[in-house]
Structure 1
Amino acid sequence: GSAISARHVVNGGIGGGSQRRGDPSGSVVLVGAERLHDELLSATPPLLLDVRWALGDPHGCDHYRAGHLPGAVYVDLDTELAAAPGGRAGRHPLPSVAALERSAQGWGLTAGRPVVVYDDNGGQSAARAWWLLRWAGVDDVRILDGALGAWREAGFEIETGETVPVPGDVVLTAGHLPLLDADGAARVARAGVLLDARAPERYRGEVEPVDPRAGHIPGAVSAATGDNLDGTGRFLSPDRLRARFVALGVDGSEPVGVYCGSGVTAAHQIAALAVAGIEAALFAGSWSAWSSDPDRPVATGTGTGTGSG
């Protein structure tokens, strides 16, 4: 039960500014298709951002043009939700606040307007936009639970072509969510719980499709992002997510950090932790940054720290 006591942190941190939605756990992080449909017809509709992206698929914008939620604006994860890749910064370094602000204004984001982000992958890429906007001070950002599939299943309208938004005036500031660098991630691995959100075989070091070295940060715990979702691509209930993270050693009393390959699906894990009422910090550079530094130790196998498991 001590994980539940961490929920007040979420209200002031990850969930801050959205308590008017009632905050029975996950409501500040997620929105269902039916609820979103109603909000889009209201006098104050949220800004919809389509963040379709997948490793090895450069055609997100084509998928968007072929069919998206009405009025949604396409967001390019590689160029708008990340700075140029490189070495120890990793494959998806955080953009500067100034660059993110220019992008957000280009999407039509105005001060105080709610935002809903979605993709067609259970929110695993859209969560990057959720995290970045929350980090940059936008209070009301939610992920469409069940992604594009849930919207289609509900029988709601799909639009083709491209939405050209009227530019917005939002002003962004950095630092509203906790962030880790490599040293910080190493500290959390020793003193708290550092979750590795990649597939288990990448964690164990059996396969490494993109980054310089295979394995994981010593002391990190394997916690594949996909396990946050049910068979329909929706987030598990707050209780089930809390049980998942408690079983991984998260008890609410010590710091929690998350990393993945390049800081994209780790944001999804942070969203799932927020649904469960647990605040966690993102190691934005993630494995792509850690493994690019030859001075950083690497563990393999299933043991959390020794590399011999």
Structure 2
Amino acid sequence: MTSASKGLVIRNTGNSYLVRDVDGNEFISKAKGNLRLKGIRSTSPVVVGDIVFLDVYPDGTAFIKEIEDRKNYIVRKASNLSKHAHILAANIDLALLCITVRFPETTTVFIDRFLMTAEAYSVPVYLIFNKIDLYDDEDDRDYLDALINLYSTIGFTCLKTSMSTGEGVEELIKATTHKVVLLAGHSGVGKSTIINTLRGKQVQKVGDISSYHSKGMHTTTYSEMIDLQNGGMVIDTPGIKGFGTIDMKVDEVSHYFPEIFKFSKKCKYNNCLHLTEPECAVVKAVEDHYISESRYHSYLNIMEDIGGSKYRV
């Protein structure tokens, strides 16, 4: 005889899920074979952050039979060739994109792709500019300040942090209190150190920076939700190389670039894609420096993806 239970998915290791019920009991669970998500071509039907309904057997085995409707989720492409989505996490109160300008460098294209994806799936984002204590070079500091000025002017919340000196830690604790938070970014940007700081103890292995392209060594190989001291929970994800466009039409992309969408209302043609059309207010705004060239480059990069079914980082 089975018993029914409701719980939160706190770890995903492939075909196995760790689910915590309302009483704090944890079950290693499998998804039933007929479990599918409506309208989503996903590599996995269940992800960290999902609220699920279980059938629990007397021997302790458990099967996920249903997923509660998600308030949001965030995705990336599963592979270079796949048209399926890989859902990173669901039911997110806040996403923190961890960024470094060196060791390794986070490109503006990567930042903009993440922001577009989060906007498309209704996930609020803070940009965390981490490891600021390492930037001894004046050019690095100037570039950091320019990035923060760019994104804060658009309307994104930006935090400068250093887990070594403690700068920005209090703001980070406040932002994550009693929230389900997704922590994303390239390998090597300091995600594990941020989690250890918020947790108050070492729970995540900290990776080294490999000499090859100054890339970080992966220390997280699966998605996991970790309890924080402030009542929040953070979802750590494996280092992400890039974001593709998932089932997005070319005329929708500009909606997820706030400053481009603002100027698009002044274009001569309602169906203007802001590429080569005459009297395009967006192109004019780029020329007049009201829209940054880097943001417009990211927009063109994404538009090229959709037109050619490509996948870029």
How does the TM-score come out when normalised to structure 1?
0.24
Give the number of the structure whose residues are more often strand, by fraction: 2
Structure whose CA Rg is larger: 2
Give the number of the structure whose residues are more often helix, by fraction: 1
Higher relative contact order (CA 8 A, sep 6+): 1
How does the TM-score come out when normalised to structure 2?
0.24
